[in-house]
Structure 1
Amino acid sequence: MRIVVAGAGYAGTLAANRLAKKLPEAEVVVVNPRADFVERVRLHQHVAGTAKVATPLVEMLRDGVEARLAAVEKIGDGGVALDSGEFVDFDHLVLAVGSTVSPLPGTIPVGTWEGAEYARAALAQLPPGATVTVIGTGATGIETAAEIADGRPDLGLRLVGNRLAAGFSDGARRRVRAGLERLKVSVIEDTVTQVLRDQGEEGADRLRLRSAGPGGDVRSDLTLWGVLGGVPDLAGRSGLEVDERGRAVVDEHLRSVSDPRIFVVGDCAAVPGSRAACQTAGPQGAHAADTLVRMVKGRGLKPYSMGYFGTGLTLGRRDGVIQLSRRDDTARRQYLAGRPAVVVKEGATSGAKYGSRTATIAWLRGPK
């Protein structure tokens, strides 16, 4: 029996290792476009040069798991076509290709490995006094702006987006803003509609904002895109049923409603009540693997259930905010801040990588 895992992020790597552990008789093949496991939730640290975020897949995957360096172009009937020209048959497929970004022209996306690499190089070339603008006031944008400000206090930092830390309670949002102010990050709650390159001024961008907030044009020497986009169109292009966001529609066991041989996990899965996060990816990867083991061994299946405990943000290396939540992911009034929040966030981030490598993970059950 051959099981193909498309994607080696948190969900895909954990699923592959768990399957290899629990079904040693199966051939597990991981298909990924790069030879490294990338800790996506640390990419802001890679941009700022404060952490190593890429680990060779050979160090992450269990012995016996085959890794193929390629991207899946299309899912066919019982196989996947790769951009290398190969067609790999499968008995079961775990689709874990993650999400994509759709940056405005003229910006550098920090939510991908390639973009983060480019942003890191561009940041290193900026002279003191230059201005960096980060677009996106969610977790990716906030952490990127704060990490750069913490490491390069000689630069001017600006954060632009619709609403700062929108999913946080009022108190937690005020604490995030205070942390950014301490780092001298200017926050503009507005919408960027265009990024223009000024004529005759090499390296200077002019951002045009919709005037819902301060409005007008602002200048920037480096503009980074910190907004997560949609998902790859692989599922829809392959004929699987998808939702309005292009995520594959799944049943209560995380199987595609179009083909029960295909499990879909992580950002590209349309799981009710879920959001893009490593907190989501790990449990889904584990549940898909466990369900497939049950199918192979003829056991009864259990529906997927997962509950959230909160959302964490680091504000540089010495500050952070953890918004505590109910299991349905709605924010509570309570939150952690300061160094305790940094410790919790670091533990969760390191734990996500550990879980993917060891296939060991525990999670909360979902709300009743």
Structure 2
Amino acid sequence: MKVVVAGAGYAGTLAANRLAKKVPDAEITVVNPRPDFVERVRLHQQLAGTGRAATPLTEMLRDGIAARQAAVEKIGDGTVVLEGGESLDFDHLILAVGSTLSPLPGTVPIGTWEGAEQARAALAGLPAGGTVTVVGAGPTGIETAAEVAYARPDLGVRLVGQNLAATLSDGARRRVRDGLERLKVSIVENAVAEADTGTVQLRSGEQLNSDLTLWAVIGGVPDLAARSGLKVDERGRVIVDEYLRSVTDPRIIAVGDCAAIPGSRMSCQTAEPQGGHAADNLARLAKGAAPKPYSVDYVSTCISLGRHDGVIQLVHRDDRPRRQYFGGRPAAMTKAGVVRGARFSARSGIGGSLPGSK
């Protein structure tokens, strides 16, 4: 069995390691644009200088897995074409290329390694008294604003977005707001920012001065699947069947942010179970068995607020928020443990998840 894994985030790395363990004679090649496994959920720490988000892939992949540093330009009939024109044949392809951001001019996107590094350098160059604006009031924006405020209390930090922590319960949202206010983060809600160099213009027409504007809104997915002729949804995500196989080509399994799976949210809590399921189904096929449908349920939403505070929102199995949540240092410790666990799962190929509801 010859398998190419496109993308070495949580889903792709776990899938490759799990498959290598279950099918030792499989020929597995991981293709990734950079030489590192990037913990996307740590990028806010990377840019604030409070943690590291990258580990060399050579330390993350099991022996016997080949790693190629390249971008995939196109998926063909049983082949992937790499930048430069080289092609790799496959019996099966696990497509795990993640998601992208579409930042406004004058902003720095922080959901990618390159953007986080650009933001880190810009932040380090800001003198005391400068102002940082984070656009996006979801978990990525909240964690980034909190981390910058925690690491650089000498700066003014504001968070701009439509609705703060909109997916959380009312109580958890209030707790997030309290945590941000304790860090002296200014919150501007019901606003859409139009950024330009040195200013942030709100939809109301008000202009806010900003020395550094960080873009924390996930905009879509790479257009690789669409330009390769795979059937995609309106956001460019691969449309898959119940086994996570592309409805265009069943040899292609899409997992993580780039897969159009109803009810899924972009998170490592989604990516790793899907990567594990892809590996398990390929292992079943290698043994002549039938694949199994994918289904998984959610447990919580975890948000850090600096290094010593956070909010853990418990959720129903379909990801609707429960009334229950907890915060403070226990939440910060829980979030840190979850992040460490996600890295361990990717490295070991052991991906834990709840089985989906029947």
Interval containing the TM-score (normalised by the shorter chain): over 0.9
Partner of 2:155: 155
Check conservation: 1:328, 1:366, Cα contact below 8 A: no
Query: Given the alignment of the two structures, is residue 359 of structure 1 paired with residue 352 of structure 2, yes or no?
Result: no
Once the two structures are superposed, residues 148-169 of structure 1 have per-residue CA deviations (whole angstroms, 9 ceiling, x without a partner) of: 1011110000000000000000
Whether 1:206 aligns to 2:199 is yes
> Which residue is equivalent to 1:202?
none
Preserved contact between residue 100 and residue 221 of structure 2 (Cα < 8 Å):
yes
1:259 and 2:249 correspond: yes
Report the Cα offset of residue 192 of structure 1: 3.1
Match of 1:346 among 336, 341, 344: 336
Superimposed CA distance per residue, residues 71-125 of structure 1 (whole angstroms, 9 cap, x where no aligned partner): 1000000000000320111111000000000001000011100000010000001
Q: Which residue of 2 aligns with 1:286?
A: 276
**2-side partners of 1:352 and 1:254: how far apart?**
21
For residue 336 of structure 1, give the secondary structure of its aligned residue in structure 2.
strand
Q: Percent identity?
A: 68
- 1:367 and 1:15 mapped to 2: Cα distance? 23
Post-superposition shift, 1:295?
A: 1.2
Name the aligned partner's letter for residue 308 of structure 1. Answer: Y
* C-alpha deviation, 1:193, in angstroms: 4.2
Distance 1:160 1:76 in 2: 42
Q: Secondary structure at the match of 1:191?
A: coil
Find the partner of 1:247 among 208, 218, 237: 237
Give, as a single letter, the amino acid of the residue that structure 2 aligns with 1:362: G
* 2:288 counterpart letter in structure 1: G
| Aligned pairs (5 A) from 1:66-105 | 66-105=66-105
For residue 323 of structure 1, the aligned residue among 313, 316, 329 is 313
State the alpha-carbon separation in 2 of the partners of residues 26 and 119 from structure 1.
40
Computed over aligned residues only, the root mean square deviation of the Cα atoms, in angstroms, reads 0.9
Which residue number in structure 1 is paired with residue 296 of structure 2?
Answer: 306
The alpha carbon displacement at 1:196 in A equals 2.3
- Name the TM-score, length of structure 2 as normaliser: 0.99
Provide the C-alpha distance between the structure 1 equivalents of 2:258 and 2:38, rounded to a whole number of angstroms.
Answer: 17
Report the Cα offset of residue 186 of structure 1. 0.2
Q: SS state of the match for residue 218, structure 1?
A: strand
Q: TM-score, normalised by structure 1?
A: 0.96
| Equivalent residues of 2:107, 2:196 under 8 A apart | no
**Letter matched to residue 92 of structure 2:** H
Cα distance between partner residues in 2 of 1:269 and 1:302: 17
Q: For 2:185 and 2:235, how far apart are their aligned partners in 1?
A: 32
**Matching residue of 2:49:** 49
Q: 1:17 Cα shift? A: 0.6
Matched residue, 1:24: 24
- Equivalent residue runs for 1:36-185 within 5 Å: 36-185=36-185
What residue in structure 2 maps to residue 235 of structure 1?
225
1: CA distance between counterparts of 2:212 and 2:325? Answer: 33
Residues 323-359 of structure 1: CA distance to partner in whole angstroms, max 9, x if unpaired?
Answer: 1100100000110100111111111111111000000
- Deviations along 1:43-67, one digit per CA (max 9) or x if unpaired, are 0000100111100000000000000
Does the 8 Å CA contact 2:8/2:31 hold for their aligned counterparts? Answer: yes
Separation in 1, partners of 2:240, 2:346: 22
Query: Residues 235 and 246 of structure 1 are in contact (CA less than 8 Å); yes or no, is this contact kept in structure 2?
Result: yes
Q: Letter of the aligned partner of 1:144 in structure 2?
A: T
Runs ≥4 residues deviating over 6 A: none
Query: For 1:92 and 1:301, how far apart are their aligned partners in 2?
Result: 13
2:324 corresponds to 1:334: yes
Question: Is contact 1:307–1:366 with CA below 8 Å preserved after alignment?
Answer: yes
Give unpaired runs (5+ residues) of structure 2: none
Q: Deviations over 1:169-213 (max 9, x none)?
A: 00100000000000000000033342223xxxxxxx1111012xx
Deviations 1:258-280 (A, max 9, x none): 11111100000011110110000
Distance 1:89 1:191 in 2: 48
**Aligned 8 A contact 2:107 2:215 in 1:** yes
Counterparts of 1:171 and 1:367, CA distance in 2: 27
In 2, the alpha carbon distance for the partners of 1:167 and 1:193 equals 20
Structure 2 distance, partners of 1:183, 1:343, is 18
